[in-house]
Amino acid sequence: MRLLVALAFTALAVAQTPGTPVSSAIGSLSCGVRAYTSTQVQEWCYTGISPNLTLVHNAITTMQAGGGALATVFSYQESSGVVSSVSWFIGPAMAYQVIVGQCVPAATCTQGPIVRGTLPAATTQ
């Protein structure tokens, strides 16, 4: 019985390595999204120029049970007043769609290209 309990805890302790990130850039934002685990997605954004980068967004979100879609939007207003935004839409099997856009004060908003694909899966070690 002790062996079964030990094996159960060992199985729970198996680590997962996050998948390779997918990157997007708009204005001064450089963002990424990746499969953090088989049920979680991590997204982040930096501003600035290397080596002087500032992390302005970092979130880990759990996917809905049954493979439901996940939609997140991050917007960042630069000192010039320009607002850059990144929208991530993650669906079943980690299929993704990324939309970037930018709004200039007293002008129009523009949308960048829509990028679609599948996030590389997190791997079990």
The residue ranges of every structural domain in the chain are: 15-119
Is there a contact between 16 and 125 (Cβ–Cβ < 8 Å)?
yes
Q: What is the pLDDT of residues 69-86, one digit of tens each?
A: 788 888 999 888 889 999
Over range 18-46, report the average pLDDT: 89
Is there a contact between 14 and 124 (Cβ–Cβ < 8 Å)?
yes
Over range 96-100, report the average pLDDT: 89
What is the pTM assigned to this prediction? 0.76
Is there a contact between 29 and 38 (Cβ–Cβ < 8 Å)?
no
Alpha-helix runs per DSSP H in the chain: 2-12
The amino acid present at 49, given as its one-letter code, is I
